[in-house]
């Protein structure tokens, strides 16, 4: 446990950000799964791709990870 005030604040801030990112990633996984489902409609695919792009801009995912996931979503939705 930290003794310095700034270190205590960092622990608190990191915990908050971790919870937020966890919820965001969970929602993202759900959208990707729905988009990859057999017979998924274009709207679901568009939404998943948009969310992936937003997650990169927010710093939640690395750009290459998002690109890989987008390619997989597109590949699965067309099959």
What pLDDT shows up at residue 31? 94
CA atoms within 13 A on the CB side of 48: 27
| Closest by CA position to 44, among listed 60, 33, 55, 56 | 33
User: For 45-69, what is each residue's pLDDT tens digit?
Assistant: 999 999 999 999 999 999 999 999 9
Whether pLDDT at 39 is above 90: no
Prediction pTM value: 0.82
pLDDT at 77: 83
Q: What is the pLDDT of residue 4?
A: 95
Helices 42-57 and 5-36 meet at what angle, rounded to 10? 160
Q: Which fold has domain 5-78?
A: Methane Monooxygenase Hydroxylase; Chain G, domain 1 (1.20.58)
């Amino acid at each position: 446990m930290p003794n310095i005030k700034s270190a205590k604040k960092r622990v608190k801030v990191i915990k908050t950000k971790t919870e937020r990112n966890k919820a965001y990633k969970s929602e993202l996984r759900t959208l990707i799964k729905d988009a990859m489902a057999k017979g998924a409609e274009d709207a679901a695919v568009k939404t998943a791709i948009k969310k992936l792009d937003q997650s990169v801009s927010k710093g939640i995912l690395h750009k290459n990870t998002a690109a890989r996931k987008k390619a997989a979503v597109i590949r699965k939705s067309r099959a």
